[in-house]
Amino acid sequence: MRQKRILVTGGAGFLGSHLCENLLTFGYDVICLDNFFTGNKQNIYHLLDKSNFELLRHDVTLPIYLEVDEIFNLACPASPIFYQLDPIQTTKVNVLGAINMLGLAKRVKAKILQASTSEVYGDPEEHPQKETYWGRVNPIGPRSCYDEAKRFGEAAVGTNKGIDRFTKNMLFDEKIGGTIHMAIGMSIPETGGKNESAVHWDMLADMSDGGEIYADGELIYENAEFII
C-alpha cells in the first residue's frame, strides 16, 4: 500500500522542519517546499539523506503542480523583523500562497491545513478571543501586511466553494467550486507526451449545470460533484 505523500510549505522553518521530521518518523513521503527567505537549510540538513524526504526550492506565490495527499501550508515569515522587510512579498505569500495551495488541494483532492495566527484579531478588545469575534485590525498599521493578508487567507479557505462569479483571471477563476480547469499545450516528455506545441491554452468549464466526466466508460463526476 502506498504511503501518503505530504507537502509541507515553509518546511525549512522552525515549525515546518520539526513537522517534516515528525511526519518522516511515521513513514510518510514528505515534500519540503521553501524559498529560504527565512527558512534555514540547516534545519532540514539531517533529513536530506532519507529516501522518503524531498526538498524543493520554490516560492508559494507561484503555482506548482504536484501529486500529494495532504498539504500543510506553513509558508510565511512570522516575525515582524522579517515580514516587515518586504511587506508586499509578505502579503503575496499569505494571499497568493493560500490561493495556490487551495488550487493544488482542489486539483488533487488533497486535505489541507492552513496555518493562521492570532494576529488576525489585530489589537483585540476581548481576551481570549472566541471564534465569533471578528477582530480589531488597523489596515494601514505597521503589522497590516501580515494581519490583513492572514485574514484573507482565512477568507479564501472559508469561501473557496462559495465563489459564484468569474473574474476572467484564470488564477482566481480556477478556484471556483464546480469548475474544471484544462490546460492544453506542450506535454511533459517524462510522462510520454508527444505534443511539442509552443502555444498554451487554459480553458475553464462550468460543470454545475449538467456537466459530466467519464473514466473508462463510467460516470464519475456529474453536476459539479464526484459520485464515486
Q: Is residue 173 part of a domain?
A: no
Q: Residues 17, 108: one domain?
A: yes
- 50-96 confidence digits (pLDDT tens): 999 999 999 999 999 999 999 999 998 877 777 777 788 888 888 88
Question: What's the whole-number mean pLDDT along residues 163-178?
Answer: 69
Q: Residues 104, 162: one domain?
A: yes
Q: What is the model's pLDDT at position 1?
A: 62
Q: Residues 39, 115: one domain?
A: yes
Q: Prior bond to 80 cis, omega within 30?
A: no
Query: Which has more pLDDT, 214 or 201?
Result: 214
- 175-195 confidence digits (pLDDT tens): 677 777 776 777 766 666 777
Q: Is residue 91 part of a domain?
A: yes
Intra-chain end-to-end CA distance of the chain, in Å: 20
Q: What is the model's pLDDT at position 174?
A: 67
Q: Which residues pair with 205 in a beta bridge?
A: 180
Is 221 marked active-site? no
- 6-56 confidence digits (pLDDT tens): 999 999 999 999 999 999 999 999 999 999 988 999 999 999 999 999 999
- Report which secondary-structure segment, H or E, holds 119: none
Residue with cell 506548482: 64
Its domain, for residue 204, covers 178-226
Residue 224, burial from CB neighbour count under 10 angstroms (0-12, 13-18, 19+): middle
Query: What Rg, from alpha-carbon coordinates, does the chain have?
Result: 20
Q: Residues 73, 119: one domain?
A: yes
Residue with cell 518522516: 24
Residue 36, burial from CB neighbour count under 10 angstroms (0-12, 13-18, 19+): exposed
What is the four-CA torsion angle of 81, 83, 85, 89, rounded to 10 degrees?
170
C-alpha cell of residue 216: 473508462
Query: Which has more pLDDT, 148 or 75?
Result: 75
Q: What is the model's pLDDT at position 155?
A: 64
Query: Which has more pLDDT, 173 or 223?
Result: 223
The whole-model pTM stands at 0.67
Q: What is the model's pLDDT at position 118?
A: 76
From 28, 83, 121, 146, the catalytic residue: 146
Q: Residues 163, 194: one domain?
A: no
Q: Residues 196, 140: one domain?
A: no
